[in-house]
Structure 1
């Protein structure tokens, strides 16, 4: 395995611990204490936040605790998040064939990596991925709750929701595939204002109404795409957690909002599919 084919951890020791044992202990603690607002069936897709673990980790843990029953089922994770560090036209796929964290290396799905390159809106470029945290911070959680799996990591730039929905539909797969959308909510508002803004944004998602903007969520584009695809596939969103940095580890003068939402097959859709 050539070193050049590995995308090394960029924010270990900054967003989360760089010592494997400390990291495992921290994730284990967050998962064991997570109490989702709603008990749901096993999810097909998740929206999870991507800040430093001290800030958003407990909120993310509510989603990953809900998905922990997928350990023996999921073998592929489709992971989309916004590009913070470098402009991306539509979608950026890494050239690297492994993503590394203190918990080990995760292989990229070679089949999907090759297939996605046939799309005119996908560029293969390691540069946007090199320092990006939105995908990386999800990986130690995924490595903890799942057995061996392959990764399809896409950074989303100026894509349209329709393009995102098309990519998600292409990668949808069956029960072996979990879709994870990495996004925070509002940024740097006073606590009371953030609570109001974020509650409104979450209500919009729960009603499956696309049209979120980037003031509401930095991952608005992939969320809007997921809403479109989830509607087509008969998924229902369930709120697992909604807090902000003022609730977890920061002061309340300028907070960042976080939510975890699970998308699960609706009972009505499941019944229809059986007939």
Structure 2
């Protein structure tokens, strides 16, 4: 039996119609201006596409030249609805969006599921949007890949980094961290706060707090692993909902960041 995790936020965070979704994602990618980087990992936001889609697209546009190279995507995002203490895998064998199904990498799941900080929790994945909103971008820029989807609750940076180490692989493996930045601050305050947070991320400082980035737990784990592997972080885009489709009284911050191994440009 092939257990499918169906789309939970199609029609809310992004278009539920496949043709509209495909067109919107292609348009956002076309408007992005990718730099010649070959990322090992990217950080992308996870709000509704009208708010954060263009910022996410600046990270995903980098992957087009790697469409035939990347075969596995390790996707980590924060829990918004169901708390888990560590990291949670789904029960599903594939994730579905209007653009089709993405298979779960069974080998990778077997490699990490016995770690003490990893559990299988279908409920934590059922309505979680932080992973799902990344999938249409991945489905558009990559040709054939399997997914390792992990929602992250109270895991320490060391616990997340240990999971990433076991799945690090080579050029065939991409790591994606799903995270927004500050939430519901006034526009100018948010700009200052987010610029400061990005400075910490670019220096691979694995001590981010939840008020700086809602994906602080998975992000800290990546930054710890990135430091060990000598990765360099580069800012691709930094905006907030006041710049895209929201008012400026209370905004949510979004950044797109690429982390590359030394010397890895196309």
Within 1, Cα distance between the matches of 2:40 and 2:69? Answer: 11
| Cross-structure match for 1:163 | 159
Higher deviation after alignment, 5-14 or 110-119: 110-119
Counterpart residue number, 2:12: 14
Q: Indicate which of 106, 128, 131 corresponds to 2:124.
A: 128
Partner of 2:213: 217
State how 1:254-269 maps to structure 2 within 5 Å.
254-267=250-263
Matching residue of 1:35: 33
User: Does 2:80 align with 1:84?
Assistant: yes
Shift of 1:46: 0.2
d(CA) in 2 for partners of 1:68, 1:233: 24
- RMSD after superposition: 1.0
The residue matched to 2:95 in structure 1 has which SS? Answer: strand
**Shift in Å, 1:40:** 3.8
Displacement of 1:117 in angstroms is 1.6
Q: Partners of 2:108 and 2:69 in 1: how far apart?
A: 19
CA distance in 2, matches of 1:139, 1:208: 26
Equivalent residues of 2:111, 2:166 under 8 A apart? no
For residues 171 and 70 of structure 1, the distance between their equivalents in structure 2, rounded to whole angstroms, comes to: 18
CA distance in structure 2 between the partners assigned to 1:189 and 1:68 by the alignment: 34
Measure the CA separation in 1 of the matches of 2:25 and 2:204.
30
Quote the Cα distance in structure 2 between the aligned partners of 1:229 and 1:81: 16
Tell me, what secondary structure is at the counterpart of 1:266? strand
**Structure 1: which 5+ residue stretches go unaligned?**
271-275
Output one character per residue of 1:122-180: Cα deviation in whole Å (capped at 9) or x when no partner: 11111010000000000000000001100000000010001111111111011000000
Q: Is 1:61 paired with 2:49? A: no
Give 4+ residue runs of structure 1 displaced > 6 Å after superposition.
Answer: none
CA contact (8 A) 1:40 1:238 kept: no
- Aligned partner of 2:199 among 192, 197, 203: 203
TM-score using structure 1 length: 0.94
- 1:46 is paired with a residue of what secondary structure? strand
Secondary structure at the aligned position of 2:242 is classed as: helix
Is 1:249 the counterpart of 2:239? The answer is no
Q: Partners of 1:68 and 1:236 in 2: how far apart?
A: 20
CA contact (8 A) 1:40 1:264 kept: no
